[in-house]
Amino acid sequence: MSPRTSVIMPAFNTAGTIERAIKSVTGQTDPDFELLIVNDASPDDLKLVVAEYLGEHPDPRIRYLENQQHLGLAETRNHGLREAEGQWIAFLDSDDQYTPTFLETMHNAVTPTSDVIVCAHCLHHESGETTYRRRGEPGTCTGHDAMLQVLRDEMTPYAWDKIYRASRIRGVTFPPIGNIKDEAFTVPAFKRARRVKVLRDALHWYSVDESPVTSSACPPLEDCWRHVEHLKMTTNAHLGTETEKNALAVAWVLCFLNAAQTALRLRPENLRGYVKGCQEAMRLPLVLRTLKTAPFFGAAGLLLRLSPSAYRTLYGSYVQRSRRA
């Protein structure tokens, strides 16, 4: 008999945290799950840590899988999706953790037509401080409305604060885009869902990586273009209603706004050309649509075209506040 939930745990360079992540799954009050640990050819001692843990705590619900070479987060999650046998799908990064009632609370919220359940989460900082975060109004909406909310940045795009009915998302995968964005999976998954339910409960602990970031963290502009084209083709919103076109425009503008903000903060060697590429992506029709739906983001798009330095000051302060919210 298939388990109720398949929890997919991609793992890379997390030998120091993966045991904690595993225990947060095995300690669930709902025991009807399988845990698929997918080692993405991690160069640290992750394989040894998992082997020692399973040797001391054998659990038939846990399956250990390996990529023969490093494939990245997208294909590692896809590996888990191909192997999953559960009726529901969940994701947990190997440096994060669930609260003990994550699965029980999420499944208690399921109705016959709800295909995705979304929870709030807590940001866990190295200092020990935790911050509650939720984006999206608690309650139930159609999958189509949830898809538009993600495009407009009104609901979390993350893969790991949700459970998905497996039969509804069969065939949906993470595209092989270098700097993966979870919304590339979440948006088409929501498009297929009948109903999406958002909970107030913070059931996931997200570990904030506070190590210094380098200029290599700037997403290649080619990946940004591939991402927005993926959203365009999977939603067909560019052929839809005005509401759909406007939502897609917001996602497009935000993608390049965030890329420009990252570059202005990290200052890579090709900063001038990078920012120019982001400015050119601020196509006027898309910016005008964004102004109708999300005026602040639309104004930020115009500001980026006119003055990158002013954009950095104003939009950067907004991003920092929103990340703490």
Residues 184-221 pLDDT 10s: 999 999 999 999 999 999 999 998 875 544 445 789 99
Q: Can you give the pTM of this predicted structure?
A: 0.92
Residues 22 and 111 in one domain: yes
Residues 189 and 221 in one domain: no
Domain limit, last residue, from 153, 186, 207: 207
| Helical spans, DSSP H, in 236-270 | 242-266
**Rounded to an integer, what is the distance from CA 305 to the centroid of its chain?**
28
**pLDDT at 131 (0 to 100):** 87
Residues 178 and 280 in one domain: no
Q: Domain range for residue 282?
A: 215-324
Domain limit, last residue, from 175, 191, 207: 207
- Residue 265 or residue 97, greater confidence: 97
Residues 192 and 239 in one domain: no
Residues 74 and 123 in one domain: yes
**pLDDT at 189 (0 to 100):** 97
**pLDDT at 210 (0 to 100):** 58
* pLDDT over threshold 60, residue 55: yes
Residues 35 and 143 in one domain: yes
- Residue 23 or residue 320, greater confidence: 23
Instruction: Write down the mean pLDDT value for the chain.
Output: 92
**pLDDT at 42 (0 to 100):** 97
Cα atoms in the Cβ-side hemisphere of radius 13 Å centred on 172: 24
* pLDDT over threshold 70, residue 135: yes
- When divided into structural domains, the chain yields a total of 2
For residues 312-320, give the mean pLDDT: 62
- Distance, in Å, from the CA atom of 50 to the CA atom of 96, rounded to the nearest integer, reads 16
DSSP-derived 3-state class of residue 289? helix
